[in-house]
A and B are shown apart, each in its own frame.
Chain A
Amino acid sequence: MSYEDRFSQLATRRQLFRDCGVGLGGIALSSLLNGSCAQADTAQGHAGVLHHPATAKNVILLFMAGGPSQLELFSHKPKLNELHGKETPKKFIEGKRFSFLGKDAKLLGSTRKFKRCGESGTEISELLPYHQKIADKLCFIHSMNTDVFNHGPAKIFMNSGNPQPGRPSMGSWVTYGLGSECQNLPGFVVLQSGPRGPRAGAALWSSGFLPSKYQGVPFRSTGDPIVNLTSPPDFSGDLRRDFHDAVAELNRKRLQATGDREIETRIAAYEMAYRMQSSAPDLMDIGAESQQTLDRYGAEVGGASYANNCLLARRLVERGVRFVQLYHTDWDHHGGPGQTLGKDLEKCCSQVDQASAALIQDLEDRGLLDETLVIWTGEFGRTPMGETRNQKVGGRDHFIDAYTLWMAGGGVKPGVSYGATDDLGLSVTEKPVHVRDLHATVLHSLGIDHEKFSVKFQGLKMRLTGVEEAKVIHDILT
């Protein structure tokens, strides 16, 4: 059966059978994988049985929108400091394309102090004191590289494996493949903090050609968390139940008259909508957390911040939500006003440092870290060369050849640093990891073989990792 069936009326009917556990779905699901998986069915997903045992059930993607500077945070380069202000080696600049840098850009050393932390001795910058304390729980990849150097396309690439909008986001792939274990909330939730939304907007959590059921649902920190969650004025309270009962009753009558079982799906959708009206506000009510927990994150009841969102992310995976994207914007430190590697970078770091670390610690304390994969990354890194803005060298340009991200939990080895760059951070020298490799690895940890997990669209077998080679980074997995 091709994916197209799922779009048709009858396919949704089958989905209903499956969701109801009737079991007809079993015949429908196997061919999604081009491999030879047994024809058994999972609880709700489309990936059939897992290809191999999973080490993670859920994913939290902490997305530092704008591209944080690895050279100020995780990648300590004494040689770069030594050659500060010097010409960049010609062989490096030639043939490279940058957003804003001229060919004459000079090397820019970092003024940040690094410290060896924990038993692993991982070097982490003074800008992230809370990270320094959990270094042994994190796995750093220093050899990340990507394909595109503009924010919008690079973010879309990081999320969907393609620089143009239109493909499903990683979160959509994962919820499509594995389903959601939460009956009262969407399986793929998006949270946002910082002065503005991320560039490229909804393309980052779009379900592309997958059914829209699998698109990320943005949860707002103020007002209704989900658009149109609240009943119209005067129609709240017990009238809410009356409304849903009346709609269901008349829908049942029509079901009887027409025999179209799609109406049953509609009845079920209304019932879940009813439940979401109470489960979503419950989720958002962090007042239910202890003061100790709030303090640990630096979260505030009634506030809207990255810290609040980290706490919400934990509450989401706790409730069985499969994939959480969490955007924090303003990491684009080119050096102009509001974009310096000085106080502006410090501000971003102080906004995310404590809460990111608290999230890891909190997940661990609750026994959730083992099943939750946390990823902290930007869409790219920043250049070892300085960028001149307003006649001052105070920032760095976008850099796609070598940057750093970290992962934790969900079967990722803790206290590991993987991959390396040269002394100036200009290029990867060891174990390069492309964005596609990251995608392959994330799917692998969830029990999915990225090569077998494909959906046919417009004649192509579409995969998150696309057609180019992608490899699972087994070395970082337990």
Chain B
Amino acid sequence: MLFTLGIGMHVHAEDAASLTTGVSYNRDVRPILAEHCFACHGPDDEHRKADLRLDSQDDVTRAGVIKPGDAGASELVKRLKSQDPDEMMPPPESGVLSQAEKDVLSEWINLGAEYQKHWAFEPVVKSALPRVSDQSWCVNPIDQFVFKRLEDEGLRPSDQAHRAVLIKRLYIDLIGLLPTPDQVDAFLADDSENAYETVVDELLTSKHYGERWGRHWLDQARYADSNGYTFDNARVMWPYRNWVIDAINDDMPFDEFTVVQLAGDLLPDPTKEQLTATGFHRNTLINEEGGTDAEQFRVESVIDRTNTTGTVWLALTVGCAQCHNHKFDPVSQRDYYSLFAFFNNTADRNNRGPEVTFRNPHAEEIADLDRQLAALKIEEKERAVIDAAKPEEWTVLEPVEAKSASNASFETLQDQSLLVSGPNPIEETYEVIYRAEKGTVAAFQIDVLPHEALPKGGPGRASNGNFVMVDVQFDDADGNELQLEPVAIADYSQSQYDVSLAVDEDLESGWAINTNQKGNVAHWAKFLLVDPIVLEKTTDLRLRMRFHQGSQPYNLGRFRLSSSARRPQVDLIPLRRKDLEAKKRKLEAGIVKSMVMRELEKPRVTHLLTRGDFLRPAESVQPAVLGNLHQWHKSEQPLNRLDLARWLVDEGNPLTPRVVVNRMWEKFFGVGLVETVEDFGVQGATPSHPDLLDWLAAEFVDRGWSQKQIHRLIVTSATYRQSSNARDDLEREDPLNRLMGRQNRLRVDAEIVRDLALSASGKLVSTIGGPSVYPPQPAGVYAFTQKKKNWPTSQGPDRFRRTMYTFFYRSSPHPMLTAFDAPRFNVTCTRRGRSNTPLQSLMVANDPGLFELNEALAARAVSEEKDEQMQLKHMFRLALCRYPTPQELEFLQTFLHDQKRKFSNRMPGLEAKASNSAIVAVARVLMNLDEFITRE
């Protein structure tokens, strides 16, 4: 084993597969050839040197550079050993092979130089379970594979972790939150055989499970709340996030999960949910900078969709073939653009493009307005020609009786106008009876007039002389309301206070005249009757006006009424349309739409792009799947995205199930069975447990692509339940822990750092889904952005929502997220980094948003426990989910007392505050521990 580790330094130190003896092409030889030879002697015919291919047995045999069974006689080996710069391979400037690597190649040739197809492109074969010496350790088949490998290396697995560690591990891995001390106690006390499984099943049905695992998927979907690039304006895409959470919670089978996201729009009669799901590929960037070429950025988004699909489903770096044939994997440049062609037909073009209406709370009212607008259109066509030659004639009406709701006084002036004085309430109604002479009434005019008795000269009684008339109504002699046109006309309306608002149904909006701008001068408003009335004799008509605005009086001070037998010669249709449209816009503000994929009716022709440059199209290509990997027979041509999606999750596809279960493994153990979760190609790592990987992949498909079932299988395995503590023998024999003789301690994801703090402090608001929120962030975040972003810090419950709902601006994410390795979501991310930096320390130690939670944890402990020692213990358990050791408790007590003393000195006379600060200091220490942000 030490021999192979020696090789490992240059091949794959992490590649535990090389820990067994013998030479295998896939395991030992191909990585060396791929690293040093294939770039010039591989599948890329454009860059091939000396017309020699070393990746195919046929070519090698034809060229005669290898004599199977005789390394000494093989040209290849001679070249490797040569010191002559003209002859040696690889050429001097390209680096050299280690002696160990040369030995591997020689041994392989001596053993017959057998080639194998790259392991990941071979069909998945569900292997038989290995026999192990100690079946009792094994809980399920996973363990047999793991135990066998350990056994072969003379190693034993680790003991099961302490139950307190186990339950915390399960909570963090499955839902990303902490168990409460009560939940921990219940588990510790449950001595039934399936106590552990009970917790697992509870967590798998928790709605937070969808958040936790949805978040992992959103990394791959490169979900963000802004457009990226230059301006990085906000966008609405959270309905897609909702969809993901729901789908994961419902355990939507992964094949269906794939099809709806890649091609939900192409399903027959797609549902709203299926359309929303296609947002997966609408998470691409949009460049809103002035002077951009929309086509350029459309092509960028198609490239991104192609590459993302390759990485997420196939773990293939298809993007390598954008400019030239792939140097290592069977993807030609033509193959690349054939994949590209699947995504090249959508209607979006560096813009929001097609959308689905996710929510429309006023749908019926909007539909009604649409009907009115349609009717108006017909009316407009059929209306009579307006006779502009006959102007209206106005007759001033005589007021005979006036009263107000507040008993204000009315004085009739010489011009028949009324001047109001006395009570001036915040809400007011005037009712005035006017005497109209015999004749026709088709319209009324209200003149609002200034007067020296009014504030600033009126015409209103507000302190600036303004008024807000929220409603106007006219009644005939029998008290029947005369129907008015829904639009009125005025010589002037203040912005946002159009006169038509006085004849709508809304008693909060109305007509006003902005005296600051126009001065305290006279204005008029005209109200039109739908049907003119004919008065047979002198008749009393009633005018009713209401006034209201905020918390100050806005009543009218002086006014006069006139009537006209002829309607004013105005075209009301545009006014009515404007009115309806304004109403519609107001209602439409409540609509939530999400971007979706939609196919163009006339497909674009896809060209191979020379060197990936969209300005250099070459021959045209048709959509086609990667037939080299997995054949797909379908009669109808041409293929579309739906075919691609179905091909990806077709039963025989060797990559998709392996790739998906491997990513699950990576989340539960920190490292995938194939370490390069994003690259299963020739250049990627080889699996540590190939049989286990295949068994899981097959099991996944057999179980109807149920992610939950595989999760359950993994977390109930003995392998998963092992302690993560270091062990000297493992440290020596398998320092990277690829054989899984123990669990790994893993620092939690960026979002989970804060979620754990929310959860420990009891502040978490567990609402699922919805628009993104704005928890506090440190000052100065936007000092470095081109546009200052809108960050209305949430004050209510939204302040304490899970961090996956924090609004994500691609150009300036919340600093806590970037400090803890959250991706920026410009491109897909299948695996996050896990760094450990001083900026993280500053973040957890000092961030005001987190400090708030330190305080909340302290307050919670104080309110839930009485005595000091119990409070310390409780706080410890809330944060770390275990009991402190006696040494830890003693240390904390000493620390608490010391801090109390120091705070008392700092704040003399404020004992209670000092005491509280000291306990907050303890909470702050606990939340800053490595253990707090680590899944053990």
Interface residues of A (CB under 8 A from B): 1-2, 4-5, 7-10, 12, 27-28, 31, 34-36, 97-100, 149-153, 164-166, 186, 190, 192, 196-203, 206, 211-213, 215, 217-218, 220-224, 226-232, 234-235, 238-239, 242-243, 246-247, 249-251, 253-254, 257-263, 265-267, 269-270, 272-273, 276-277, 327, 329, 397-398, 456, 458-460, 467
Contacts and interface: CB of A to CB of B under 8 A. Distances in A.
Given A196-B786, A228-B815, A247-B929, A253 B836 contact: no
B289 A272 contact: no
B838 interface: yes
B902 A196 contact: no
Given A2-B685, A201-B784, A458 B836 contact: no
Contact of A242 (B835, B891, B898): B898
Interface stretch (B602-610, B846-854, B863-871): B846-854
B477 interface: no
Given A150-B287, A232-B851, A200 B837 contact: no
A260 B840 CA distance: 19
Interface string B725-741: 11100010001110000
Interface in B225-284: 228-232
Nearest to B683: A459
A187 to B, nearest CB: 11
A8 B300 contact: no
Contacts of A458: 311, 317, 319, 678-679
A153 B288 CA distance: 12
Given A8-B834, A31-B9, A254-B930, 20 more contacts: A5-B736, A7-B833, A9-B670, A152-B229, A152-B230, A165-B229, A190-B784, A199-B231, A200-B230, A211-B821, A212-B818, A226-B839, A227-B843, A228-B778, A228-B845, A229-B842, A258-B724, A269-B838, A276-B842, A459-B683
Identify the 6 closest CB pairs spanning chains A and B, nearest first: A99-B291, A259-B726, A201-B811, A152-B230, A273-B841, A459-B317
B434 to A, nearest CB: 55
Given A1-B13, A201-B811, A206-B824, A186 B839 contact: yes
A246 B685 CA distance: 42
A170 to B, nearest CB: 17
B925 interface: yes
A247 B735 contact: no
15 contacts: A1-B14, A2-B676, A9-B670, A99-B290, A153-B230, A165-B826, A186-B838, A203-B810, A203-B811, A220-B784, A224-B779, A228-B842, A230-B846, A250-B888, A251-B929
B685 to A, nearest CB: 7
Nearest to B34: A459
B810 to A, nearest CB: 7
B766 interface: no
A150 B292 contact: yes
A200 B815 contact: no
A12 B670 CA distance: 14
B290 A100 contact: yes
A202 to B, nearest CB: 6
Interface string B92-126: 01111000000000000000000000000000000
A231 B300 contact: no
A108 to B, nearest CB: 18
A253 B833 CA distance: 26
Nearest to B930: A266
B670 A218 contact: no
B930 A239 contact: no
A227 to B, nearest CB: 5
Nearest to B827: A166
B785 interface: yes
A245 B901 CA distance: 17
B675 interface: yes
B16 to A, nearest CB: 13
B687 interface: no
A286 B228 CA distance: 36
B30 interface: no
A7 B671 CA distance: 10
A368 B694 CA distance: 59
B408 interface: no
A192 B924 contact: no
A96 to B, nearest CB: 11
Interface of B: 9-10, 12-14, 93-96, 228-232, 285, 287, 289-293, 300, 304, 311, 316-317, 319-320, 323, 328-329, 615, 670-671, 675-676, 678-679, 681, 683-685, 724-727, 731, 735-737, 744-747, 778-788, 810-813, 815, 818-821, 824, 826-827, 831, 833-843, 845-848, 851, 885, 887-888, 891, 895, 898-899, 902-903, 906, 917, 921, 924-925, 928-931, 936
A253 B929 CA distance: 11
Contacts of A211: 821, 833, 835
Given A223-B779, A260-B724, A150 B230 contact: yes
Contacts of B851: 232
Contacts of A267: 930
A155 B507 CA distance: 53
A349 to B, nearest CB: 22
Nearest to A198: B786
Contact of A165 (B747, B824, B845, B929): B824
A200 B685 contact: no
A273 B840 CA distance: 9
Contacts of A250: 888, 891, 925, 929, 931
Given A151-B230, A239-B902, A202 B824 contact: yes
Most buried by A among B291, B813, B827: B291
A467 B319 CA distance: 13
Nearest to B821: A212
Contacts of A260: 724-726, 745
Contacts of A8: 14, 670-671, 736, 834
Nearest to A456: B683
A149 to B, nearest CB: 8
B178 to A, nearest CB: 17
Contact of A166 (B670, B737, B824): B824
Contacts of B838: 186, 269-270, 272-273, 276
Contact of A192 (B96, B784, B846): B784
A234 B835 CA distance: 30
Contact of A213 (B9, B837, B898): B837
A23 to B, nearest CB: 15
Contacts of B736: 5, 8, 10
A257 B811 contact: no
Given A211-B833, A226-B842, A258 B681 contact: no
Contact of B931 (A165, A202, A254): A254
Contact of A203 (B289, B725, B726, B826): B826
Contacts of B895: 242, 246
A150 B679 contact: no
A2 B14 contact: yes
B921 A243 contact: yes
Contacts of A251: 929-931
A194 to B, nearest CB: 11
A265 B838 CA distance: 10
A218 B781 CA distance: 9
Nearest to A155: B230
A215 B838 CA distance: 13
A324 B845 CA distance: 26
A4 B815 contact: no
B287 A153 contact: yes
A202 B784 contact: yes
Most buried by A among B300, B679, B685, B780: B780
A268 B124 CA distance: 45
A212 B837 contact: yes
A215 B725 CA distance: 31
A243 B229 contact: no
A1 B9 contact: yes
Given A166-B826, A250-B925, A259-B725, A229 B846 contact: yes
A247 B928 contact: yes
